């Protein structure tokens, strides 16, 4: 099927032409005369994009071209930083109540940036606790043990705060930001610790599945390989060669079908699922769906199901088409459709993913001709 550009689909959904730049605006209370810097947090370096001397009212505005994949930026003023996540052409507004800028600020226009604000706040508390502990004198074994216990409690508090952001959507920018937080030059999520490495692997697997060509995904892949190699070596040292399990939390989708009944992707756990994003009005859609019907008829009795998300703008035509299909067909509002597309980094239509019986996303479908082989492989796995 000829691929339909997701940019075109989104343009139809939001009824406007796509912009090519994103904008960061806001105010810094008490910042008059101070220099505010706008920087790109690239994978291997930080690049200064712009700067300005804040006026009396503390107003600022920056803009930059959008990138192919979601990226990170920051505002810097006198050694204090506000981290921001950008994944499209949004306008993000940042209001700083007092200095230093990271101490008290609010952010609107970006849900990921708001999550990063919460994570950064937890990270700053952890860093402060480390600073206090470092200055505390511990001469006796008991004092050193108490100091270590106090620090571990602070680390556990941080992980309890940020872990939900990792496992609810490991492909998100918030999850990526959380696993790379450091204190005193050390990763808070210790990659040599099995429980911590599980969180890192979840993000690595999700990025590799949803945006495999992103430089950050490739870096995470290397990180994941290193974790698995370390784990394998540790197991071999204990005469245990059972391979480490790879996990990725599936991002749930809950949308209504043509009759208004809502269906959750998570409810299909126990089946091998083809998660399919499509548009019935796209060129080649009938042939594509006929190929899926053949797969559904062949494997449905063995535990195969299709969860198909449509982004068609014509609701009536979608309902007519969905009535003739034997699987779960769902379609949401404009914002719900966009959220689902972004969650799985869908750039073209159709795009499909295979999910195993345990609800773990296994792969992005690259070629229809390989689907029977891949489906059969997953169906043979033990329930």
Chunked mean pLDDT (size 10), the chain, 383 residues: 45 48 96 97 92 97 93 95 92 96 95 95 88 77 80 88 91 93 79 86 88 89 82 63 48 91 93 94 87 94 95 86 92 84 81 90 87 93 68
CATH of domain 1-109: 2.60.40
CATH of 254-379, one of 3.40.30.10, 3.40.50.2300, 3.50.50.60, 3.10.310.10: 3.40.30.10
Whole-structure pTM value: 0.65
What is the 3-class SS of the chain, one letter each residue? Answer: CCCEEHHHHHHHHHCCCCCCEEEEEEEECCCCCCEEEEEEECCCCEEEEEEEECCCCCEEEEEEECCCCCEEEEEEECCEEEEEEECCCCEEEEEECCCCCCCCEEEECCHHHHHHHHHHHHHHHHHHHHHHHHHCCCCCHHHHHHHHHHHHHHHHHHHHHHHHHHHHCCCCHHHHHHHCCEECCEECCCCCCHHHHHHHHHHHHHHHHHCCCCHHHHHHHHHHHHHHHHHHHHHHHCCCCCCCCCCCCCCCCEEECCCCCEEEHHHHECEEEEEEEECCCCCCHHHHHHHHHHHHHHHHHHCEEEEEEECCCCHHHHHHHHHCCCCEEECCCHHHHHHHHHHCCCCEECEEEEECCCCCEEEECCCHHHHHHHHHHHHCCCC
What are the sequence ranges of the domains in the chain?
1-109, 111-249, 254-379
């Amino acid at each position: 099927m000829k691929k339909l550009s997701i940019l075109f689909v989104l343009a139809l959904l939001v009824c406007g032409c796509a912009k090519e730049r994103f904008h960061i605006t806001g105010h810094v209370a008490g910042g008059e005369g101070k220099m505010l810097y706008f920087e790109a947090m690239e994978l291997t370096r930080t690049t200064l994009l712009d700067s300005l001397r804040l006026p009396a009212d503390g107003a600022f505005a920056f803009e930059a071209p959008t990138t192919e994949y979601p990226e990170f930026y920051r505002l810097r003023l006198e050694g204090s930083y506000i981290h921001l996540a950008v994944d499209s052409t949004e306008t993000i507004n940042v209001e700083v109540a007092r200095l230093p800028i990271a101490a008290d600020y609010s952010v609107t226009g970006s849900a990921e940036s708001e999550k990063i604000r919460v994570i950064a706040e937890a990270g700053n508390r952890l860093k402060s606790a480390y600073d206090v502990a470092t200055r505390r004198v511990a001469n006796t074994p008991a004092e050193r043990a108490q100091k270590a216990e106090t620090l571990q409690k602070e680390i556990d508090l941080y992980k309890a705060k940020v872990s939900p952001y990792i496992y609810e959507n490991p492909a998100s920018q918030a999850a990526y930001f959380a696993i790379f937080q450091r204190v005193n030059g050390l990763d808070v999520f210790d990659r040599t610790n099995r429980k911590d490495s599980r969180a890192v692997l979840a993000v690595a697997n999700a990025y590799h599945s949803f945006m495999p060509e992103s430089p950050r995904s490739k870096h995470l892949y290397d990180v994941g390989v290193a974790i698995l190699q370390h784990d394998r070596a540790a197991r071999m040292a204990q005469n245990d060669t059972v391979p480490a399990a790879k996990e990725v939390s599936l991002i749930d989708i809950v949308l209504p079908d043509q009759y208004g009944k809502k269906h959750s992707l998570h409810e299909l756990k126990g089946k091998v699922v083809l998660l399919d994003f499509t548009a019935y009005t796209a060129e080649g859609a009938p042939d594509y769906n006929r190929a899926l019907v053949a797969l559904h008829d062949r494997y449905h009795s063995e535990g195969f199901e299709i969860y198909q998300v449509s982004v068609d703008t014509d609701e009536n035509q979608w309902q007519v088409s969905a009535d003739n299909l034997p699987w779960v067909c769902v379609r949401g509002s404009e914002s719900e459709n966009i959220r689902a597309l972004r969650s799985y980094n869908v750039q073209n239509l159709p795009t499909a993913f295979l999910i195993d019986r345990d609800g773990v996303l296994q792969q992005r479908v690259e070629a229809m001709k390989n689907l029977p082989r891949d489906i059969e492989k997953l169906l043979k796995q033990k329930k």
